[in-house]
């Protein structure tokens, strides 16, 4: 992976919890996992692996890649289609809303390209939802990060859950980093767009249960 210093710094910037898009206000349903005593420090790694294998690598990365190819080909219709596929593939309303809220916050950072401006207008006009993976692809192109943007996608998703576990007092910082490192070492090869899938029913159920919870620290 060859990437210039300025592009690498931008990659780190958009992956940081300080980046103002609200990604670290979500737990991706892990808060409900904890409330239902389904995850703890002992089984966090297999739960993270399930998220990576059956949601992020299997759905969000293929969408990101398709969206990036669409941007590079200056194909707005193809970009909008990828965005809609991502939105429609998320079964829980909370998961859809979370992706759109983060994506729409990220969208405010885009617009330096003609296609980016057009896509932003489409989202503003409710012609496209503006999910996080699709918008990240637009920004990755504009910042000249390119395909390296999928590293940010996976990293942010992983750290959302790890950070939530720490904030809930379930694990300490060192244990969180060890769990993340273990998962990083075994990230699978994503399927091509058109064969993307989401297959983590328990996460969908916990997200739906989280929507009805009266005691919540996190948006999702």
Tokens read off for 90: 């998320």
Closest by CA position to 70, among listed 153, 140, 171: 140
The per-residue pLDDT string of the chain (220 residues; one tens digit each, 9 = 90 and over) reads 567 888 889 999 999 888 888 877 888 889 999 999 999 989 999 999 999 999 999 999 999 999 999 999 999 999 999 999 999 999 999 899 999 999 999 999 998 899 999 999 999 999 999 999 999 999 999 999 999 999 999 999 999 999 999 999 999 999 999 999 999 998 999 999 999 999 899 999 999 898 888 777 887 6
Q: Residue 149 in contact with residue 140, Cβ under 8 Å?
A: yes
Helix, strand, coil content of the chain in percent (nearest 5): 65, 0, 35
What pLDDT, on a 0 to 100 scale, did the predictor assign at position 156? 94
* Domains annotated on the chain, with CATH: 29-189 (1.10.4190.10)
Measured in degrees and rounded to the nearest 5, phi and psi for residue 101 equal -65, -45
pTM, two decimal places: 0.94
3-state secondary structure 200-216: CHHHHHHHHHHHCCCCC
């Amino acid at each position: 992976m060859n990437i210039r210093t300025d592009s690498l710094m931008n990659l780190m910037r958009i992956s940081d919890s300080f980046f103002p898009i609200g990604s670290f206000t979500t737990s991706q349903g892990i808060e409900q996992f904890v409330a239902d005593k389904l995850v703890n420090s002992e089984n966090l790694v297999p739960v993270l692996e399930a998220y990576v294998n059956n949601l992020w690598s299997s759905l969000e990365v293929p969408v990101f890649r398709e969206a990036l190819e669409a941007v590079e080909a200056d194909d707005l219709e193809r970009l909008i289609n990828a965005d809609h596929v991502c939105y429609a593939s998320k079964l829980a309303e909370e998961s859809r809303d979370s992706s759109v809220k983060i994506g729409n916050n990220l969208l405010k950072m885009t617009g330096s390209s003609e296609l980016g401006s057009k896509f932003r207008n489409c989202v503003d006009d409710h012609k496209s939802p503006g999910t996080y993976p699709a918008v990240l692809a637009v920004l990755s192109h504009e910042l000249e990060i390119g395909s390296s943007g999928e590293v940010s996608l996976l990293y942010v998703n992983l750290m959302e859950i790890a950070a939530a576990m720490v904030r809930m007092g379930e694990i300490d910082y060192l244990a969180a980093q060890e769990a993340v490192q273990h998962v990083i070492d075994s990230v699978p090869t994503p399927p091509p767009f058109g064969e993307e899938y989401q297959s983590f029913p328990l996460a969908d159920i916990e997200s739906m249960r989280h929507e009805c919870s009266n005691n919540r620290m996190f948006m999702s």
